[in-house]
Structure formats: C-alpha cells, structure tokens
Amino acid sequence: MIKVKNIKNISKMAHAVFSGGDTLRPFTVAVEGNVGSGKTTFLEHFNKNDNVAVFAEPIDMWRNCDGYNLLELMYNDPKKWSFTFQSYVQLTMLRQHQKKIKEPVKLMERSLYSARYCFVEKMSRDNLMPGASVAVIDEWFKYITTLDHTKVDLFVYLRTSPEVAYERILKRNRSEEKTVAYQYIKSLHDIHEDWLYHKTLHKCTAPVIVLNADLDRSVIEEEYEKFEPHILNKTALELKMA
Ligand code: TTP
Ligand code: MG
C-alpha cells in the first residue's frame, strides 16, 4: 500500500522550482526512512534514468575522514564521538545538497534534515550529546539551511516496521553496526514516524510520499514504479522541455 500526503501541492512546487526564484535548483527529492529501510536499493532503481542525478549517502567519507572511521568511533563510544560524527555528517550532507548537476531531478539518500531531526534528536534524548553540543549543531544547521540548494522539494518516506528494518541490518552485517540493538532501531522508527508521518516532531518542510518498504525486494520495484511520475516530477520535466 502506498500513502501520499499533500500530493496536490507537488506539481505546484515543481512549477515554482523551474519557473521563478531559485530557478536553477533541481527538483530535489530526499529519500528517508529507518536504517535498513532500503534507501540504497530505492536509489539504485532510479539510477538508470537520464533525468535523475542520484546521490548515495556519503558513508564512505564517514568511514574515512583523514584515516579515521568516525562511524565506528561513534558506535564504539557514542558519548565521546557523537558530536564529532554528527558534525561531519552535517558537512558531508551539505556538500551533497550543493553539488551542481545538469539533470533536472536530484535524488538524495537522506538529507541535512534527517541527520538533525532523527539522529541528533535521538542522541540528545539518550544524553549521548550534551545540550551545549546540540546547540552548536543547531546553530550551524540553522545557518546552512538558509544557503542556496539546501531545500528539499519532496520527501520519500520508506516506511518499515522496526522489526523488518532490524532483520535487514542483521542480515547485511555492516561491521560498524554490530552493536546496534533492536531498541535503538525501534526508537529511531518512532522518531521518523513523528517527523514524516504524524508530523508532530520538528518541521516537515516539503510534501511526503509514504511507501510501504516492508515489501520484499522482488515486489517493491512495482511499488516504486507506481510513484515514478511524482518522484521524477513529470510536471517539472515537461515545463523544462517546453
Ligand atoms: P542510514 O542513513 O539509515 O543508511 P542505510 O544505508 O543504513 O539505510 P538503507 O539500508 O535504507 O540504505 O544509516 C547509515 C548508518 O549511519 C547507520 O548506522 C546510522 C548512521 N547514521 C548516524 O548515526 N547519524 C546520521 O546522521 C546518519 C544520517 C546516519
Ligand atoms: Mg543505504
């Protein structure tokens, strides 16, 4: 089942992107969802399309910042490294948002917004990041989200049950994620839900398409295809080609 919220506004927003204001900004879609929800698989599906520039999450940079594996440091000693890690995530995400492309649609795995609204949120709730550190991240966040090319026009929320996401994480067995517990994934799930589904947490700055990402890989491609016209923003493409 696919659920859409505010879909009527999407074509209006697409028109704004290409016909006024920040004219050269591509229609920007951020793919969000819990760890293990299938964001990378989703991106791979759209990689074949000539009108779309796909940006996978910069996880390799998080694993090697001048030789330091910040992702691993964070999981091994979250109290010590959460702030360092999230500072770097914020920088690398900003770079993804600002990368210039020639295609009219930019599809990103995550965004500045989920880094702040889901992960920093979780670390703050768990007292892994003290208030003063959250305040510094927030000051940067508030400033950089006023910069050009940091806006998102559409969120695609790959909605999973925490059980399915957790099973996938166990199965893929990423070395840094050995210590991830089910309870962590359940709490991150609740935070994603409150942000993108119930819209009770933080600001949701763009329409949200909700996909049932519990579906098996063999079936989910069909689900993606049903939503392709909205995700690829056919209205914007038509305007651009007119
Ligand atoms: P995800 O960004 O959820 O990416 P993924 O590849 O695990 O998701 P999918 O299976 O849907 O493709 O998480 C990547 C890892 O980075 C994960 O261990 C969580 C961690 N992370 C943080 O700790 N803080 C952050 O701000 C982000 C974006 C990720
Ligand atoms: Mg991924």
pLDDT attached to residue 18? 46
CA 56 / ligand 2 centre spacing (Å): 7
Domain count for the chain: 1
Token code pair at residue 63: 């694993």
Closest ligand 1 atom, residue 43 Cα? 12
Closest ligand 1 atom, residue 90 Cα? 26
CA angle 193, 196, 197 (to 5 degrees): 60
pTM: 0.89
- Read off the pLDDT band of 1 (50, 70, 90): very low
Tell me the ligand closest to 168's alpha carbon: 1
Dist. CA 106–CA 129, nearest whole Å? 32
Dist. CA 79–CA 64, nearest whole Å? 20
The number of CA neighbours under 13 Å toward the Cβ of 15 is 5
Write down the mean pLDDT value for the chain: 88
CA 57 / ligand 1 centre spacing (Å): 8
Task: Answer yes or no: is pLDDT of 217 > 80.
Answer: no
Percent of the chain topping pLDDT 70: 86
Low-confidence winner among 45-49, 61-65, 72-76, 193-197 (lowest mean pLDDT): 45-49
The sheet with strand 2-5 has its strands ordered as: 2-5, 208-212, 154-159, 27-32, 105-109, 52-55
- Read off the pLDDT band of 240 (50, 70, 90): low
Contact 105, 52 (CB under 8 A): yes
Q: Which residues line ligand 1 (CB under 6 A)?
A: 33, 35-40, 57, 59, 71, 86, 89, 110, 115, 119, 177
Dist. CA 4–CA 156, nearest whole Å? 9
Q: Which residues surround ligand 2, an ion (CB under 5 A)?
A: 39-40
The residue whose CA is least distant from atom 24 of ligand 1 is 119
Question: What CATH code is carried by the domain that includes residue 59?
Answer: 3.40.50.300
pLDDT attached to residue 27? 94
The residue segments making up the domain with residue 176 are 2-241
Q: Catalytic residue numbers?
A: 109
Low-confidence winner among 6-20, 41-55, 75-89 (lowest mean pLDDT): 6-20
CA 45 / ligand 1 centre spacing (Å): 19
